[in-house]
Structure 1
Amino acid sequence: MAVKPEGHPCWADAMFTDLEGAKSFYGEVLGWTFGESSSEHGNYTEAYRDGKPVAAIVPPVPAQEGQEEQSQWCLYFASPDTAATAAKIRDNGGELVMEPMTVGDYGTMCLARDPSGVVFGVWQAGSHEGFQAPMDQPGAFCWAEVFTREPEKSDAFFPAVFPYTARQMEDDGVDFRIFNVGDAPVLGRMRMTDDFPPEVPPYINVYFSVADCDEAVAKATKLGAVLRFGPMSSPFGRFAALTDPQGANFSVIDTQTTEGDMPKLTDVS
């Protein structure tokens, strides 16, 4: 598979205190297998589905040992020039959590925070091109949504940094927007309501494909995950939101099981 176009989600990783526990959990729920940990890069460990890279897990860096920082999935967006994207992030009110850094011959990355507090990554591919499994393959990354209490900030920021156009869902009950690159929808944005406890920070929720949403939820909760929402059928698929045993939020979706009509979307200037 080729390098993802600019602005497309291209990789996801998460930091876990219990790396073996994360392997066991995601291996069971999503059918992942794992490569050898790279000691040169902080025991960074790639996950695979049917031999194709789908994500990675990593233990905390030494400076963070003992801190109660919650595990969280980080989504990376493709960039042809990480330094140029980092400049756009700064110029549009974002904050660089980690300056652009070359990772061997794999590529160049940075970590950032949007003006509403959402953390994300940027990846300029070298030998590591990112996700290799098709989105509809069970275990593969499928979709992602920015969850924020200040949508107006994210709505201005992301199209200024990446080549996005936006469409707003016509629904008085839900404030939801979709960002496109060309005709391709690549990212959702959801306003966090009072249903989210105040201690939950804004974040990007990643979705992984599964063959059977209810079965995946049953496995996950049996292994100690907390079901936050669903399973629910929608025009996009049957999905559910979960928190894994180490506190990382994620969702699962069966895109083959759909129900209802697609929502109406309005172009936003």
Structure 2
Amino acid sequence: MTFNALVLAGSRGGVDPLADYAGVADKAMIEIAGRTMLARVVDALRRAGAARILVAWSSPTVRDHALSLDVEVIAAAGGPSASAALGLERLGAPLLVTTADHALLEPEWIAAFLGAVPPQADVAVLLARRDVVEAAVPETRRTYLRFSDGGWSGCNLFWLATPRAVGAIALWRQVEDDRKRPWRIVRRLGPLLLFRYLAGRLSLASALAHIGALAGVRAAMVPSAFGLAAVDVDKPADLDLVRRLVARR
């Protein structure tokens, strides 16, 4: 299938520890086996069938590099959620959203994700179970959301299926704005939801249904059969791991 895609390649400003570790100015410009992470993501999207690819940039260096890859560009907003809103406004729904640090991204993961999204969903997210991730790459260290039906890791792939997805982006932005004030997030999502989560009594499906209702959307989760889909490049250890994995190929 063909689709449009947004790649989030912005930054929060200041010195990025990962970029500094790699000896470059911008995270998206980190090279793995001679190709930048951004180029790898764009290539995977194209091979998966992306018709239009939009890159949200913060640095002119990233913008110029994106243009050299023959994609569209847009200046990133104040955070990922605001950039996603701009991308949705520019390209419309449906829209696949991913990140420039998803350096291992494969077309097969995208095809499997989009093929499994329920037809009634306004938004969908790809997640991988902890056992699937650890079976594929036992040396990785990920952050897992612990639900009653197991631990899950994000895979940096989001499907904004309908125009109603703006509601999910709006809730995302509110939570993003409150990231330094956790009590506001608790108040927004509801203390009962947090209590059930901390007590290990909240299932992933229940959490998605609750959050979807708050955002006024029908939210869905697609489980990934590919554990590597959960491996992005957030810190130096991730970069070292991904470089080893690519070298093995």
| TM-score, normalisation: structure 2 | 0.30
Higher strand share: 1
Higher helix share: 2
